[in-house]
């Protein structure tokens, strides 16, 4: 691990609408991401996680603050730098059904992305795509299926393969495990661990604290657009400082949330 500071958000704010319809989806959010680091963003539905993710991925300009990638401001300066950043920071969207073209097989979808990013010919792109898909546990038979013929977990893995086609340094995964069952979750998390071992940085967005604890080293807790607490994941889980974090932890079913529930009861 090089420990290079890859990405930084400085006081990022996003406001939607105006007047009485104003929504402050993100308010002065600051975060750092180092090379090879897995960080997490947790928070309840509507807290602003996806909005912030879109800003970090260079897909939406913030209304305040800035995002730096390798020390350079993403939204100011040349468009070529913004485009370069978009390749380097790839996002796996919350709804893979919506982000995959329903007409394209997994193989075509990934091959198309390979062709664009790597500027390869058709055959090479397909070979490259098949390799990426196989790495994600999608064999040739499933690679030839369209999104509606795939299971939720398979669709997610096709989306990850597509994101990886750009050879990014950062993978932003927005609720990658929310729509899939336990065994598909475990499979995806194992794949993410493999990607981390290969040096990829991962920003994992989830309301599933078990998943966050398993994969991330640092975590940011978001509530109503604000980071209310952040720190090393183990520390935040074992000794949460904010009432909101304590409540979030206590809401985890089973053993994982037990200690937090007992603490709250006291």
Ligand X SMILES: Nc1ncnc2c1ncn2[C@@H]1O[C@H](COP(=O)(O)OP(=O)(O)OP(=O)(O)O)[C@@H](O)[C@H]1O
| Interacting residues with ligand X (CB under 6 A) | 16-17, 23, 25, 43, 45-51, 94, 207
Q: How many Å apart are CA 89 and CA 170, to the nearest integer? A: 5
Residue 46 interaction partner, one of Mg ion, ligand X, none, beta carbon < 5-8 Å per kind: ligand X
Element (DSSP H or E) covering residue 138: none
| Closer to Mg ion by Cβ: residue 166 or 222 | 222
| Closer to ligand X by Cβ: residue 25 or 100 | 25
Contact flag: residue 50 with Mg ion (CB under 5 A):
yes
| Closer to ligand X by Cβ: residue 106 or 225 | 225
Residue 88 interaction partner, one of Mg ion, ligand X, none, beta carbon < 5-8 Å per kind: none
The β-bridge relationship of strands 64-69 and 89-92 is unpaired
Residue 51 interaction partner, one of Mg ion, ligand X, none, beta carbon < 5-8 Å per kind: ligand X
The β-bridge relationship of strands 170-174 and 201-205 is parallel
**What is 219-253 written as a DSSP string?**
EEEEETTEEEEEEEHHHHHHS--SHHHHHHHHTS-
CB of 111 to ligand X, least distance (A): 30
Residue 165 interaction partner, one of ligand X, Mg ion, none, beta carbon < 5-8 Å per kind: none
| Closer to Mg ion by Cβ: residue 50 or 185 | 50
Q: What are phi and psi of 46, to 5 degrees?
A: 85, 5
Residue 155 interaction partner, one of ligand X, Mg ion, none, beta carbon < 5-8 Å per kind: none
The β-bridge relationship of strands 23-34 and 5-16 is antiparallel
CB 24 within 8 A of CB 13: yes
CB of 92 to ligand X, least distance (A): 13
| Closer to ligand X by Cβ: residue 60 or 73 | 60
Q: Which stretch binds Mg ion (CB under 5 A): 23-31, 42-50, 176-184, 220-228?
A: 42-50
CB of 152 to Mg ion, least distance (A): 16
| Closer to Mg ion by Cβ: residue 60 or 94 | 94
Contact flag: residue 51 with Mg ion (CB under 5 A):
no
235's CB contacts (< 8 A; 6+ apart) are none
Contact flag: residue 47 with Mg ion (CB under 5 A):
no
CB of 52 to ligand X, least distance (A): 7
Report the length, in residues, of the chain.
266
| Closer to Mg ion by Cβ: residue 49 or 115 | 49
Q: Which stretch binds Mg ion (CB under 5 A): 66-74, 93-101, 141-149, 162-170?
A: 93-101
**What is 34-96 written as a DSSP string?**
ETT-EEEEE--TTSSHHHHHHHHTTSS--SEEEEEETTEESSSS-HHHHHHHHHHEEEE-S-H
Q: How many Å apart are CA 13 and CA 51, to the nearest integer? A: 10
DSSP state of 176: T
Q: Which residues bind Mg ion (CB under 5 A)?
A: 49-50, 94
């Amino acid at each position: 691990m090089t420990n290079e500071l890859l990405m930084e958000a400085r006081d990022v704010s996003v406001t939607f609408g105006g007047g009485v319809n104003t929504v402050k989806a993100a308010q002065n959010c600051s975060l750092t991401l180092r090379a090879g680091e897995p960080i997490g963003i947790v928070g309840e539905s509507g807290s602003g996680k996806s909005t912030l993710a879109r800003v970090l991925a260079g897909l939406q300009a913030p209304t305040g603050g800035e995002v730096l990638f390798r020390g350079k401001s993403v939204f100011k300066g040349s468009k070529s730098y913004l485009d370069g950043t978009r390749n380097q920071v790839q996002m796996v969207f919350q709804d893979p059904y919506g982000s995959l073209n329903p007409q394209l097989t997994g193989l075509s979808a990934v091959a198309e992305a390979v062709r664009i990013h790597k500027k390869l010919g058709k055959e090479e792109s397909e070979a490259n795509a098949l390799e990426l898909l196989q790495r994600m546990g999608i064999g040739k038979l499933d690679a030839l299926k369209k999104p509606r013929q795939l299971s939720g977990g398979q669709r997610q893995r096709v989306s990850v393969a597509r994101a990886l086609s750009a050879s990014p340094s950062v993978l932003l995964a927005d609720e990658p495990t929310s729509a899939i069952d336990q065994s598909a979750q475990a499979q995806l998390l194992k794949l993410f661990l493999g990607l981390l071992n290969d040096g990829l940085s991962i920003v994992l967005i989830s309301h599933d604290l078990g998943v966050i604890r398993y994969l991330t080293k640092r975590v940011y807790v978001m509530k109503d657009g604000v980071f209310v607490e952040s720190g090393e994941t183990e520390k935040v889980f074992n000794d949460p400082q904010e009432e909101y974090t304590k409540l979030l932890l206590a809401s985890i079913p089973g053993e994982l949330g037990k200690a937090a529930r007992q603490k709250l009861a006291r």
